[in-house]
Amino acid sequence: MKKVNRVKKYREFKVIMNLRKFKRNELYSVYFKEKALEVGRVGILVTKRNGNAVTRVKIKRQVRSIIDEALDLKNEKYDYIVAISKNYSIDEFVKNKTLLVKLLNSIKEK
């Protein structure tokens, strides 16, 4: 995922999350809003409950790789915030991937 396609600033996270448009499953909560720029963007939210810094960075890398495969951000019509649950396990990548792809596809169909 290119840096242009990332939501980084706190106030941008806040704007997207305060709209309260989201879908949730056992591992992820995905907040979304109509895109503000010409490309869709994604922000990843991992808290200290998920583990130490090394674990959190690994989770972010895994989620970024899933998003790269699942979304074409040039043609996307939403900005997303992906909040990771504390139940996320870095060892179950295939399960994590299928759950996130299903969730993103359900948002696209909406």
What pLDDT, on a 0 to 100 scale, did the predictor assign at position 5? 81
What digits encode the pLDDT tens for the residues 74-99?
788 888 999 999 999 999 999 999 99
CATH of segment(s) 3-103:
3.30.230.10
pLDDT at 97: 94
Per-residue pLDDT tens for 11-56? 988 999 998 889 999 999 999 998 877 888 899 999 999 999 999 9
Q: What is the pLDDT of residue 23?
A: 94
- On the question of pLDDT at 1 being above 80, the answer is no
User: Please, is 39 exposed, middle or buried when counting C-beta atoms within 10 Å of its C-beta (0-12, 13-18, 19+)?
Assistant: middle
Q: In the chain, where are the structural domains located?
A: 3-103
